[in-house]
Amino acid sequence: MINPISAQLLMPLSTDGNLANLFTALEGVAPSLRSMCADFAPSYGVVCNAMHLHLNRRGDRKPAKMVISLTLVKLDETRLMAVLGDVSLQVKRDRELKQSDAWLNAILTGVEDYAMVSLDPLGRIESWNESIGRLTGFAAEALVGQPYSIFYPPDSTTPEHLLDRLREADENGWSLDEGLRMRADGSHFWGNSMISPLRDGEDRSRDPAFCDPESREPAYGLIIRDISDKREASEQQRKAAYCDYLTGLANRRAFFEAAELELARRKRSPRSTAMIMFDADHFKAINDTFGHPAGDAVLRHLAQSLKATFRDVDVVARVGGEEFAVLLPSTDLAAAALVANRLRALVEATPVLVEGELIGFTVSAGVAAMDDAISGLDGLIKRADQALYAAKARGRNRVDCWSPECPTYKDHLPGGINAS
């Protein structure tokens, strides 16, 4: 007995249209089938499961175009049941997938400066491959299950930033960032990291593997590229546009761009964000007493102290003559005040030696944190500036946090910065 669909599938095998005997019909493509059944000792059971039959018409020289899957079940001593299905498309896709895999592997094995890993929904490394081992020196045991921040120098990112990149990739289809990356031996290289969601184009909101943070299914691809060579060339241009010529810190432009970006991320996934404004005390007197070049040396010294005190992920910038601003991602008011005070004490304790002259100086600081009453960067800067003014008014060499009692912005120093 044969149903019409099976008959249609087997028709190309038949020379005379007679499909009365399955073994005879399949003789050309599965000659061992008859003996397999004969040798099958149990009184019932699966004789063969999803056996692929590549259909060539007899005498055909071309490669098979059709693949049929055959499952043969022995029902009892006298009856067999065959289940046939056309799996040509599935086999073709499998072959294409294998081919793509082979190509990708060949590329990844051949290139020296690219490396790829897959990440789970929380950004933990899901699989290790040779290219990442070669580029970063990490072994599989050290990588699998770790957050991808393992490739970043400590302090150069926060857990929130790592998740921001994943969300960015979800929204835009990719997320690219450039900066220092770290190898297993602790050495650094300049790299860019491209994160893209896997299974692009699908509605991932209903995919439990994608949405479940505990799922270990690959959800993102991360490609890291060593661009140290290219970086050399673009570094000069970048410095000119974004670095303060005197101190080497970020300049106003860089500060505002980075701060706007951070606040945009904060809007998407709320977290505490703080800002500190620092201003050297009585700086005019330093210039007047020791000369302008000595004043410059003091500013450079202050910049070094700022660099040494803050994390790599904090944005430290010179935003005016003797005024510096720091944006601290994932930091609340109290924590920011603590680190501001550490900087203040460090400056007070370390006078600068300029041409044999020891110049002691102090700084004042104003600290503010984002809250719902502030609409944007401008508001945060205003508050930090008001707190700084309060510190100056209350005697200098001190740190003040913003409170509603702080003097209003319009009373403040003409040198204050604004976001326009």
Indicate whether 415 belongs to the interface with ligand GTP (CB under 6 A): yes
Which token pair is 348? 């007070």
Q: Which of 170, 314, 322, 400 binds ligand GTP (CB under 6 A)?
A: 322
Indicate whether 360 belongs to the interface with ligand GTP (CB under 6 A): no
In eight-state DSSP terms, residue 63 is P
Q: Which of 279, 314, 385, 400 binds ligand GTP (CB under 6 A)?
A: 279
State how far the Cα of 19 lies from the Cα of 30, in Å rounded to an integer: 15
* Distance in Å, CB of 359 to ligand GTP, minimum: 11
* Cα 297 versus chain centre, distance: 39
Quick one: 216 or 282, whose CB is closer to ligand GTP? 282
Q: Which of 295, 329, 366, 416 binds ligand GTP (CB under 6 A)?
A: 295
* Distance in Å, CB of 158 to ligand GTP, minimum: 32
* Distance in Å, CB of 237 to ligand GTP, minimum: 23
Stretch that binds ligand GTP, among 95-103, 115-123, 255-263, 287-295 (CB under 6 A): 287-295
Quick one: 128 or 290, whose CB is closer to ligand GTP? 290
Number of residues near ligand GTP (by CB under 6 A): 18
Contact 367, 336 (CB under 8 A): yes
CA dist 224 to 71, 189, 221, Å?
Answer: 46, 11, 10
Q: In this structure, which amino acid lies at residue 384?
A: A
Contact 400, 337 (CB under 8 A): no
Contact 19, 32 (CB under 8 A): no
Indicate whether 284 belongs to the interface with ligand GTP (CB under 6 A): yes
Quick one: 247 or 273, whose CB is closer to ligand GTP? 247
Q: In this structure, which amino acid lies at residue 70?
A: L
For every residue of 163-227, DSSP letters joined together read: HHHHHHHHHHS-EEEEEEEE-TTS-EEEEEEEEEESSTTS-GGG-HHHH-TT--S--EEEEEEE-
Contact 357, 374 (CB under 8 A): no
Quick one: 29 or 280, whose CB is closer to ligand GTP? 280
Quick one: 31 or 415, whose CB is closer to ligand GTP? 415
What number of residues does the chain have? 420
Active site residues: 322
Which residue do the tokens 């002691």 mark? 360
Indicate whether 321 belongs to the interface with ligand GTP (CB under 6 A): yes
Nearest to 392 by CA among 379, 420, 411: 411
Stretch that binds ligand GTP, among 47-55, 58-66, 277-285, 309-317 (CB under 6 A): 277-285
State how far the Cα of 406 lies from the Cα of 200, in Å rounded to an integer: 51
Stretch that binds ligand GTP, among 12-20, 22-30, 284-292, 401-409 (CB under 6 A): 284-292
Quick one: 221 or 295, whose CB is closer to ligand GTP? 295
Burial (CB count within 10 angstroms: exposed 0-12, middle 13-18, buried 19+), residue 151 = buried
* Distance in Å, CB of 260 to ligand GTP, minimum: 25
State how far the Cα of 318 lies from the Cα of 244, in Å rounded to an integer: 7
State how far the Cα of 262 lies from the Cα of 141, in Å rounded to an integer: 34
- Give the contact letters, 394-413, x = binds to ligand GTP (CB under 6 A), - = no: --x-----------------
* Distance in Å, CB of 251 to ligand GTP, minimum: 12
Quick one: 178 or 296, whose CB is closer to ligand GTP? 296
Q: Which of 65, 238, 239, 292 binds ligand GTP (CB under 6 A)?
A: 292
State how far the Cα of 370 lies from the Cα of 294, in Å rounded to an integer: 36
Instruction: Name 287's Cβ contacts closer than 8 Å, sequence gap at least 6.
Output: 294, 295
Stretch that binds ligand GTP, among 32-40, 82-90, 295-303, 370-378 (CB under 6 A): 295-303
Q: Which of 265, 271, 382, 392 binds ligand GTP (CB under 6 A)?
A: 392
Residues lying near ligand GTP in the complex (CB under 6 A): 246, 279-285, 287, 292, 295-296, 299, 321-322, 392, 396, 415
